[in-house]
Structure 1
C-alpha cells in the first residue's frame, strides 16, 4: 500500500467501511490491514479495534488519540465493550452501523458532554466486529503560563522554578 496513493484514496473522504473495503480491494490486502494503514493518516483522534464476544481483541490509536490518553490497553487487561456501544452483541442489528454516544462511555477521562462517533462492521465469516471510534479534538487539560506567572494557588511552575535557579532551559 504505497502511502502516497493510499493518501490520495482517503483524503477528503469521510471515514467508512465502504472506503476501507475499497482500499483493501485496490491493494489486495485484508480489511484489517487497510484499517491499520488508514489509522496512520487519520487527521482527528481515532481508534480502530476488533471485538469478539463483547470484549476488545485489539485496538490501535493514532498519535493524536494516544497522546490525549484515548487508547485501549488490550495487552494489559481484558476490556469489555460498553453495553451502550453498537459493537456490543445485543446492539448489532446490521452489518454496518454508525452511532453517536458520549465519549465518556469508552474513555472515562473524557468530558461527559463530548461526543464520540462509532462505526462498526460485522465480519460474520471471522466471528468478529471491526470498529472505528472517532473523537473530536482534545480539550486542553492544562495551559502554558507566561514566565514568572503563577497559577490560581500562587505557586510557580516547576519549569519556572528550575530556570530561576539557573538550570538548563528545557522548553
Structure 2
C-alpha cells in the first residue's frame, strides 16, 4: 500500500480502515497507532502513555530503541482534548517524523497559533489530520444533514467523536452548506474567524484584532443570560455583518480564557456560488496567514 501525500488522505485511509473493521465512534487513536504502525513501518509507534508534564498537551519523541512514543497530559479535564491531542501527535508521526527527528512538544498555543511562521505548516497539517481522522466527513455530514445548528447538535457530535466543542464547531462550519461564521476571541478582540463556504461569499470574515460587538460581550459576561446563550439570539444588521441579521451562539471555549462565537446568517437568502477550489478549516488558516 502506497503512502498518502496529504494529511486528509492519511486520515481518510485510517478512518476508512477503522470503519471497515466494524468499529464504532469515537476512533481509538491509541489502538490504531500501536497496531497499524507495527506492521507497516520499520520505526512504529511503540508506546502511547501519559507523561505527567502539565502544560504540554502532547509529545512525539523517538526512543533509543528506534521506535516512537506518543505521550499526553493526563490531567487535562476538557472532554475530547486528549483524544484530539493523540490524533494531532499521530499526525506529526505520519507526516513529519522524517523531517524533524527530534520530535514535537505541543501545547494549545501551538495547536491554535495559526499565525506563527515557525510552526504554522506542521501544526496546521497535524490538526487537519486529527480532524479528518476523528470526524470523518461522510459520517459527520450524516449527523448534521438537514438540521439547523444548535448547541445540542454540536454537543451530540462532540460526544459521538470524542472531540472538544471547539474542534467540533470548526468541523461543522467547514462542512455546512449554511452561511455561518466561527470566531474565537480573547479580551474583547477577535483572535481568528473562519467563515463557511457560503459565508465567504457574503464577506463575513473578521480579521484578527477586530473588536467583538458590545452586545455580544454583554451576553458573554452575563451569568444570568446562560439559558439564552444556549438557545441562540437573533441580532440586527450591523453587529456581525453590515447588512445582514444573524443568529448568535456564545460558547465558553475549552481553551484557556477564550470565547467562541458561532454566528449563523439564516436570513441571507440564497447566494449564487461561483466555482471555487475546495477549502477546509486548517488550509484556510494556513493560506490566510501567508496573506
**TM-score category by the smaller chain?**
0.5 to 0.7
Of the structure 1 ranges 83-92 and 125-134, higher mean CA displacement relative to structure 2 is found in 83-92
Q: Does 1:128 align with 2:258?
A: yes
**Structure 1 partner of 2:114:** none
Structure 2 alignment gaps of length 5 or more: 1-134, 272-291
Distance 1:87 1:61, change over 3 A: farther
Cα deviation for residue 130 of structure 1 reads 1.5
Cα deviation for residue 87 of structure 1 reads 6.5
> Whose helix proportion is higher, 1 or 2?
2
Q: Does 1:80 align with 2:211?
A: yes
**Structure 2 partner of 1:155:** none
The 3-state SS of whatever aligns with 1:130 is: strand
> Whose strand proportion is higher, 1 or 2?
1
Distance 1:124 1:87, change over 3 A: farther
- Equivalent-residue separation in structure 2 for 1:34 and 1:64 (angstroms): 19
**Structure 2 partner of 1:137:** 268
- Equivalent-residue separation in structure 1 for 2:236 and 2:175 (angstroms): 24
Cα deviation for residue 57 of structure 1 reads 1.8
Aligned length: 133
Q: Does 1:30 align with 2:164?
A: yes
Q: Is the 8 A contact 1:49 1:60 kept in 2?
A: yes
The 3-state SS of whatever aligns with 2:168 is: helix
The structure 1 segments of at least 4 consecutive aligned residues displaced by more than 6 Å after TM superposition are none
- Equivalent-residue separation in structure 2 for 1:47 and 1:125 (angstroms): 19
Distance 1:11 1:102, change over 3 A: same
Cα deviation for residue 138 of structure 1 reads 5.4
Distance 1:59 1:87, change over 3 A: farther
Alignment root-mean-square deviation, CA: 2.4
Q: Is the 8 A contact 2:177 2:197 kept in 1?
A: no
5 Å-filtered alignment, 1:53-92, equals: 53-74=187-208, 78-85=209-216, 89-91=220-222
5 Å-filtered alignment, 1:1-171, equals: 1-74=135-208, 78-85=209-216, 89-91=220-222, 93-94=225-226, 96-108=230-242, 110=243, 114-123=244-253, 126-135=256-265, 136-137=267-268
Distance 1:127 1:70, change over 3 A: same
Of the structure 1 ranges 40-49 and 118-127, higher mean CA displacement relative to structure 2 is found in 118-127
- Equivalent-residue separation in structure 2 for 1:23 and 1:5 (angstroms): 10
- Equivalent-residue separation in structure 2 for 1:42 and 1:36 (angstroms): 10
1:13-70 CA-to-partner distances (Å, cap 9, x unmatched) read 2211221122122112221111111112222210011222211122100111112211
- Equivalent-residue separation in structure 2 for 1:124 and 1:30 (angstroms): 7
Structure 1-normalised TM-score? 0.67
**Structure 2 partner of 1:163:** none
Structure 2-normalised TM-score? 0.41
- Equivalent-residue separation in structure 2 for 1:20 and 1:122 (angstroms): 14
